[in-house]
Amino acid sequence: MSTFSLDPGEDQLAVRDWLHGFAADVMRPAAAEWDEREETPWPIIQEAARIGIYTPDFYAQQYFDPSGVGIPIAMEELFWGDAGLGLAIVGTTLAAVAVLANGTDEQIGTWAPQMFGTPDDVKVAAFCSSEPDAGSDVSALRTRAVYDQAKDEWVLNGTKTWATNGGIAAVHVVVATVDPALGARGQASFVVPPATPGLSQGQKFKKHGIRASHTAEVVLDGVRVPGHCLLGGKEKLDARLARAREQAVQGGAAAAGPGSRAKGTNAAMATFEASRPAVGAQAIGIARAAYEVALDYAKTRVQFGRPIIDNQGVAFTLADMKTRIDAARLLVWRASWMAANNQPFTSAEGSMSKLYAGETAKWVTAQAMQILGGNGYTREYPVERMHRDSAIYSVFEGTSEIQRLVIARSISGLPIR
């Protein structure tokens, strides 16, 4: 087990500086343009691939860093550069983590490279769990997976929504229900390989923020995937379903509502648990970026004959902004270290980190806009975009209310509703 440390090692600091350079030189100058275009920034993803930031190896290296801070440091720097472009670059990792969390070594080796493509032919991947009637309540998924034993194929039918990279991805990872009677415990994750017939993109959403990241519906109409596309394999699934059925008979597995989430007892939740602190780190990147703009502005903007930071009303706000950002980072690093060192999340520390970092990003970016006055309200300055981008951090990867529910249940041991 590695000791928890607030002092990143030389390797992590080198990665941080390298990513900071990419964020400052490549992402920042392109951020406003791609926000306006609301399109996937393929040239930026390609550049990230060319220099080695967009590769399975890079993320695997950070993911398996025993200090736990490799991923949060990487996320913070990229999202300091820009959140829309950042998500366009790292959106693939949500699907990759699903394969990593639920797949066999062979499945990881097969699918991870196809998710990223090559620098000359970059690809993206999508993780499809949410549905029109199953957002926070993941146990309500309706997408069905039925096994065709004669052909050793799974047949997927349903409609997914809000999928980052949905429809434009080479590889889609789809969470579907195999046994609806078991709720979340009856679900499994499937890889849908590139160009599989029956998978199509539905509506592409026009969003408030992170507009360079593609978000769309994914329609699955009689999609057939080979048996080996079931993550973890059929034997493991059959054993898991048998256990769940047994517990259901004994009355122990009543409908798996949001309470089961803290324990990550199903495929979708295993993915969310692994990625929550990383998502918190993205929010911190946005907050830090907005804070820096506001601090500079407050030192140079003169009103009533003195810089506006000379007023406690402004200076104290900046002090609170910095304090909350640092507190959020501590929570994120702690949770990431715990995850990397297999420490039990007895108080839902992963959810705590995402909750606090997400809310901090929304609050800090709002304060930054206020400190910039009229300029903060325009697209001439980046804080307006940062504020729009930050708003997603209390919604995706579990809303703030769901994080509170998970924490409350975890600390009380009670089925809080």
Ligand X SMILES: Cc1cc2nc3c(=O)[nH]c(=O)nc-3n(C[C@H](O)[C@H](O)[C@H](O)COP(=O)(O)OP(=O)(O)OC[C@H]3O[C@@H](n4cnc5c(N)ncnc54)[C@H](O)[C@@H]3O)c2cc1C
- Catalytic residue numbers, as ranges: 397
Least distance in angstroms from the C-beta of 133 to ligand X: 8
Q: Between the CA of residue 220 and those of 151, 199, 359, 379, what are the distances in Å?
A: 19, 5, 34, 39
Decide if residue 395 touches ligand X (CB under 6 A): yes
Q: Are residues 93 and 34 in contact, defined by beta-carbon separation less than 8 angstroms?
A: no
Half-sphere exposure of 360 (CA within 13 A, CB side): 32
* 390 near ligand X, judged by CB under 6 A: no
Q: Please report, as residue ranges, which positions from 161 to 180 form the binding site for ligand X (by CB under 6 A).
A: 162-164
Q: How far is the CB of 175 from ligand X (least distance, A)?
A: 7
Tokens of 60: 């695997």
Closest CA to 212 of 276, 160, 274, 168: 168
Site stretch for ligand X (CB under 6 A), options 16-24, 191-199, 378-386, 398-406 = 398-406
Contact 338, 345 (CB under 8 A): yes
Among the residue ranges 100-108, 158-166, 240-248, 377-385, the one whose residues contact ligand X (CB under 6 A): 158-166
Name 201's bridge partners.
218
Site for ligand X in 78-97 (CB under 6 A): 94
By beta-carbon proximity to ligand X, the closer residue of 63 and 162 is 162
Residue 136 in contact with ligand X, rule: CB under 6 A: yes
Least spacing, CB of residue 402 vs ligand X, in Å:
6
Q: Which is nearer to ligand X, 67 or 213 (CB)?
A: 213
Torsions phi, psi for 176 (to 5 deg): -135, 160
Query: Distances in Å between the alpha carbon of 325 and those of 170, 296, 304?
Result: 36, 17, 30
- The interface region with ligand X, picked from 54-62, 322-330, 342-350, 390-398 by CB under 6 A, is 390-398
Q: How far is the CB of 163 from ligand X (least distance, A)?
A: 5
Helix (H) or strand (E) holding 113: helix 105-116
Q: For residue 258, state whether it binds ligand X (rule: CB under 6 A).
A: yes
For ligand X, which residue of 92, 93, 102, 130 counts as binding (CB under 6 A)?
130
**Window of 78-86, 129-137, 177-185, 295-303 that interacts with ligand X by CB under 6 A:** 129-137
Per rule CB under 6 A, count of chain residues that contact ligand X: 20
With contact defined as beta carbons under 8 Å apart, do 229 and 199 qualify?
Answer: no
Residue of 40, 201, 375, 399 interacting with ligand X (CB under 6 A): 399
- Render the burial of 22-59: b for 16+ CB within 10 Å, e for the rest: bbeebbbebbeebbeeeebbeebbbbbbeeebbbbebb
- In the complex, minimum distance from the CB of residue 383 to ligand X, in angstroms, rounded to a whole number: 20
Report the alpha-carbon distance of residue 261 to residue 322 in Å, rounded.
Answer: 32
Can you give the binding site for ligand X, defined by CB under 6 A? 94, 127-130, 135-136, 162-164, 207, 215, 258, 392, 395-396, 399, 401-402, 405
